[in-house]
């Protein structure tokens, strides 16, 4: 098995569990701006990007499509609340094996990046309580594209520029907890690694096309 040159990690339910901080912050934003109750869990599914989550929830609770300027306001209020809520979230935790895996990969000279459907500010905020930003040199986010495959391609291109050449599929691993992560990795030209720490089990991730499946990051990482 080829050792990876770059490994790109999803955040929510792959590296950390935020204890509902994101959902609470979306709810705050819609209540603050429009005085309506909004539960993103009722209108979206795991693995969708923040632009998808915001637009679908907006349309569901307000009955119309949002203007771009309206979504900017929603994102702003969401992030303002998240930056406070994340530090007070009693159930926030870094999953077992995360720090040791990231440390080992970094020490081996692997380029580490984030590939997250969250907006960049939200993604970095979610990593802060666990002190995980220190591991990631770069990233691609929902603020780069609402399409997960497209933002994954962007992350792979950034990794290639850092390495000084284009990277082959077997040299780039994308780690995530949802079928969307696995599908995006395949479309973008990377090797998918499913981690069954979210709502999807190992079998479901395999069915979604995961090349490798781990029950947690405590298990040996592929190619290392």
Instruction: Supply the angle between the helices 50-62 and 21-34 in degrees, to the nearest 10.
Output: 40
pLDDT at 43: 75
Distance (Å, whole) CA 161 – CA 136: 15
CA distances from 216 to 15, 20, 110, 146, 220 (A): 10, 20, 20, 27, 9
CA separation for the pair 29, 22 (Å, rounded): 11
Name the fold adopted by 6-17+94-214. Rossmann fold (3.40.50)
- For the chain, the structural domain boundaries read 6-17+94-214, 21-88
What pTM value is reported for the model?
0.93
- pLDDT for the residue numbered 30: 95
User: Based on the number of CB atoms within 10 Å of its own CB, is 63 exposed (0-12), middle (13-18) or buried (19 or more)?
Assistant: exposed
For the domain 21-88, what is the CATH code?
1.10.150
Question: How much is the pLDDT for 1?
Answer: 63
């Amino acid at each position: 098995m080829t050792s990876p040159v770059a490994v790109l990690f999803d955040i929510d339910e792959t590296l950390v569990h935020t204890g509902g901080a994101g959902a609470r912050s979306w709810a705050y934003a819609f209540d603050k701006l429009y005085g309506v109750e909004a539960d993103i869990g009722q209108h979206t599914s795991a693995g969708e990007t923040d632009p998808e989550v915001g637009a679908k929830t907006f349309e569901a609770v307000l009955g119309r499509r949002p203007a771009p300027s309206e979504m900017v306001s929603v994102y702003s209020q969401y992030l303002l609340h998240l930056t406070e809520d994340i530090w007070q979230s009693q159930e926030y935790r870094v999953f077992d094996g995360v720090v040791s895996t990231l440390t080992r990969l970094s020490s081996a000279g692997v380029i580490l990046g984030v590939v997250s459907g969250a907006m960049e500010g939200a993604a970095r905020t979610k990593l802060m309580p666990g002190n995980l930003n220190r591991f990631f040199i770069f990233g691609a986010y929902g603020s780069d594209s609402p399409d997960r495959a497209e933002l994954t391609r962007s992350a792979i291109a950034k990794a290639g520029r850092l390495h000084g050449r284009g990277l082959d599929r077997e040299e780039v691993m994308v780690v995530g907890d949802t079928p969307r992560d696995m599908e995006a990795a395949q479309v973008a030209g990377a090797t998918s690694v499913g981690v069954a720490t979210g709502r999807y089990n190992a079998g479901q991730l395999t069915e979604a096309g995961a090349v490798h499946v781990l029950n947690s990051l405590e298990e040996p990482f592929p190619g290392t």
